[in-house]
């Protein structure tokens, strides 16, 4: 039985130390609607950060180029109506125990038998009581600190009542009234995907975090057609955090950027090791509209003057967040312009739909009958524990991006990409490559930055391209940091051409890891791949040959000013030249000289 005394810092620290030794596992957020038989979108394919950044850059460039108001009906409406969004992000904590029992908190692994990791309290056996597991607090605190929250020394537990087979007790234990963390802030900017219209000339937006609370997950429901349901209590009681933002968001793009940024922060501090693309997070969005310049009659999280909000539940991808908000915004505007009234509702979203669907009337505090949990004492968090976690908090994504830019001379886009890839493993690989490369070349100052950019380009683009074309995961890459550093040192010192370097990279990439691998030096010598530079006359002859065969391209460069096509001509020089003889930079200089540009 659990002692009816408050939890103290020494108890938390000692228990946490014993339980924190665990292998990080994937975390699965509560599939609240799906377990109740409502329509829910399946997890969408992940959208790589770099692709998202490219799409956002194209969108912003198109907006700047047009410099005019769009003429579509929707955009005309948006001049009259203002959108307001608040977000609730649910993430399952990366812990080894459930929140109120000592049962193992495991992912939905295929080799784990249903209902095999269930304590008495998880199954709501008569007489069983919750016993808070202190180790679950550690990742929750890391998450709250990373989001800039103030940790509450005393927090309390509430019961949120609803009756369904996935909730054996008939209620969920949460922290609705007195959460363990409050008043955080999340900074997002254009590089995160925030549109220029939201920034209004500022560098970034500060999105308020109202609170972060701990709560339980539900059991897993599996339907066996036509009308049978199997209940697996392995997931029941898994520890979650719910992150509630203030309604400071005014566009679908910013909403998606906020969820994406929260995911990056949680993963960076090991609070939740699996992101939205694999089911580690789910988002609920609260959407309202009001006429610009008017004062609405509703309030949300202390913000007054808003329109009546609806909540869209269980969104499982960044694209779903954005598209569901667009659909619900347009639906509400259409209802209001037709003289209708927006009802407080809970709505659903299906991938590919054009409108949200009604699930039920919106429950409130009265419907859930929130009340203090009589079986749990207050949770008291010592300042020494908070101070220790603050001092040992891992580097956050924004700081890492700034450091990578400064140390390796990468663009912000490339730095954000390398930081986000493969849970930091790609960045660690890059750092090792750069250290080895700089040591081999003996580079300092500007040359050291040049080598950082060279290595970053190859790790992100060349090696990343090979992973894409060969459908290989990062953990299966056989090429070592030392091999890539050797390859790039030969390229940097102009012993091989860039085309040869790319061929060598593919060769090394395709070598079976079990065989004795030849060195980069051996591959170059055995293949006769060392650069044999052409004379100045040889470059000129090769360039003239290409120019004579490409009169239309020459005309485009000279007469239309399309200087970007010079590199196409350089590519033709490299294609026609003997392998290992044409250096791209030299070829470009000769080509530009002949073209008079």
d(CA 422, CA 334): 43
Q: Report DSSP letters for 322-380, one per residue.
A: HHHHHHHHHHHHHHHHTT-----EEEE--TT-SS-EEEEEPP-HHHHT-EE-TT---EE
Helix (H, G, I), strand (E, B) or coil at 185: strand
d(CA 384, CA 374): 28
Tokens of 389: 């976690």
pLDDT by residue for the chain (597 residues), tens only, comes to 333 344 443 444 344 434 333 333 333 333 333 443 433 333 344 445 555 555 655 655 555 555 444 444 556 888 899 999 999 999 999 999 999 999 998 765 667 899 999 999 999 999 999 999 999 999 999 999 999 999 999 999 999 998 888 999 999 999 999 999 999 999 999 989 999 999 999 999 999 999 999 999 999 888 899 989 999 999 999 999 999 999 999 999 999 999 999 999 999 999 987 777 677 789 999 999 999 989 888 888 888 999 999 999 989 999 999 999 999 999 999 999 999 999 999 999 998 888 999 988 876 666 789 999 999 999 999 999 999 999 999 999 999 999 999 999 999 989 999 998 887 899 999 999 999 999 998 878 888 889 999 999 999 999 999 999 888 889 888 899 999 999 999 999 989 988 889 999 999 998 887 668 899 999 998 888 888 878 888 889 989 999 999 999 999 988 888 888 999 998 898 888 877 788 888 889 999 999 988
Given a contact cutoff of 8 angstroms between Cβ atoms, the answer to whether 143 and 265 are in contact is: yes
Given a contact cutoff of 8 angstroms between Cβ atoms, the answer to whether 432 and 481 are in contact is: yes
In 53-100, which ranges are E strands? 81-92
Cα 224 to chain centroid distance, Å, stands at 34
Helix (H, G, I), strand (E, B) or coil at 39: coil
Q: Which residues, at least 6 apart from 398, have a Cβ–Cβ distance to it below 8 Å? A: 187
- Paired residues of 82 in beta bridges: 290
Given a contact cutoff of 8 angstroms between Cβ atoms, the answer to whether 147 and 262 are in contact is: yes
- Backbone phi and psi for residue 7, each to the nearest 5 degrees, phi listed first: -75, 130
d(CA 194, CA 192): 6
- Backbone phi and psi for residue 590, each to the nearest 5 degrees, phi listed first: -65, -45
Tokens of 181: 């963390």
Tell me which residue of 322, 251, 246 sits closest to 283, measured CA to CA.
Answer: 322
What H or E segment, with its residue span, contains residue 406?
helix 397-408
d(CA 408, CA 415): 9
Q: Is the peptide bond before 226 cis (omega within 30 degrees of 0)?
A: yes
d(CA 355, CA 334): 11
Given a contact cutoff of 8 angstroms between Cβ atoms, the answer to whether 463 and 479 are in contact is: yes
C-alpha to C-alpha distances, 525 to 240, 262, 496, 522, nearest whole angstrom = 57, 50, 11, 5
Q: Where are the alpha helices (DSSP H) in 49-88?
A: 49-66, 73-78
Tell me which residue of 515, 517, 490, 512 sits closest to 580, measured CA to CA.
Answer: 490
d(CA 21, CA 78): 52
Tokens of 215: 């709560």
In 458-574, which ranges are E strands? none
Look up the pTM and report it.
0.76
User: Would strands 204-216 and 239-245 be described as parallel, antiparallel, or unpaired?
Assistant: antiparallel
Given a contact cutoff of 8 angstroms between Cβ atoms, the answer to whether 411 and 461 are in contact is: no
Cα 110 to chain centroid distance, Å, stands at 26
């Amino acid at each position: 039985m659990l002692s009816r005394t408050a939890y103290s810092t020494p108890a938390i620290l000692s228990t946490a130390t014993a339980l924190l030794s665990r292998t990080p596992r994937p975390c699965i957020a509560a599939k609240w609607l799906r377990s109740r038989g409502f329509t829910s979108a399946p997890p969408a394919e992940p959208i790589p950060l770099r692709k998202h950044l490219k799409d956002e850059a194209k969108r912003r460039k198109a907006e700047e180029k047009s410099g005019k108001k769009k003429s579509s009906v929707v955009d005309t409406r948006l001049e009259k109506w203002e959108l307001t969004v608040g977000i609730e992000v649910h993430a399952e904590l990366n812990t080894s125990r459930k929140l109120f029992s000592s049962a193992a908190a495991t992912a939905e692994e295929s080799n784990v038998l249903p209902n095999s990791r269930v304590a008495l309290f998880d199954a709501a056996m008569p007489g069983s009581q919750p016993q808070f597991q202190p180790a679950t607090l550690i990742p929750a605190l890391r998450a709250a600190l990373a989001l800039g929250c103030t940790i509450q020394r005393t927090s309390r537990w509430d019961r949120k009542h609803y009756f369904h087979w996935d909730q054996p007790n008939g209620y969920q234990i949460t922290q609705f009234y007195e959460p363990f963390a409050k008043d955080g802030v999340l900074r997002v900017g254009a590089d995160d995907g925030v549109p220029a219209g939201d920034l209004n000339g500022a560098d970034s937006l500060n999105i308020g975090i109202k609170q972060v609370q701990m709560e339980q997950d539900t059991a897993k429901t599996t339907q066996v057609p036509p009308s049978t349901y199997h209940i697996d209590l392995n997931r029941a009681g898994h520890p979650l955090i719910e992150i509630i933002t203030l309604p400071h968001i005014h566009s679908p793009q910013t909403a998606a950027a906020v969820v994406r940024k929260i995911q990056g922060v949680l993963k960076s501090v090991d609070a939740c090791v699996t992101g939205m693309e694999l089911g580690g997070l789910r988002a609920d969005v609260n959407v309202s509209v009001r006429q610009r310049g008017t004062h609405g009659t509703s309030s949300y999280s202390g913000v007054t003057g808003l329109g009546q909000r609806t909540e869209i539940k269980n969104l499982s991808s960044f694209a779903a967040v954005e598209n569901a908000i667009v659909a619900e915004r347009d639906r509400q505007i259409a209802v209001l312009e037709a003289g209708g009234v927006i009802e407080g509702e809970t709505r659903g979203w299906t991938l590919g739909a054009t409108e949200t669907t009604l699930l039920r009337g919106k429950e409130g505090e009265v419907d859930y009958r929130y009340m203090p949990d009589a079986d749990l004492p207050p949770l008291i968090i010592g300042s020494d524990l908070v101070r220790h976690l603050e001092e040992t908090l891992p580097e956050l994504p924004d700081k890492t991006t700034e450091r990578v830019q400064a140390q390796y001379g990468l663009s912000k886009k490339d730095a954000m990409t390398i930081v986000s890839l493969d849970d930091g493993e790609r960045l660690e690989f890059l750092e090792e490559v750069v250290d080895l490369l700089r040591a081999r070349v003996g580079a300092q100052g500007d040359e050291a930055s040049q080598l950082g950019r060279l290595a970053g380009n190859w790790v992100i683009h060349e090696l990343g391209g090979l992973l894409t074309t060969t459908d290989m995961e990062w953990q299966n890459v056989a090429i070592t940091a030392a091999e890539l550093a050797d390859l790039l040192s030969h390229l940097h010192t102009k012993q091989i051409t860039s085309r040869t370097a790319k061929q060598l990279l593919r060769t090394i990439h395709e070598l079976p890891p079990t065989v004795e691998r030849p060195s980069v030096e051996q591959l170059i010598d055995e293949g006769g791949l060392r650069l044999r530079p052409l004379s100045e006359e040889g470059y000129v002859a090769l360039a003239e040959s290409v120019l004579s065969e490409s009169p239309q391209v020459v005309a485009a460069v000279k007469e239309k000013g399309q200087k970007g096509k010079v590199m196409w001509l350089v590519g033709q020089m490299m294609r026609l030249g003997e392998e290992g003889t044409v250096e791209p930079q030299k070829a470009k200089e000769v080509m530009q000289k002949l073209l008079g540009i």
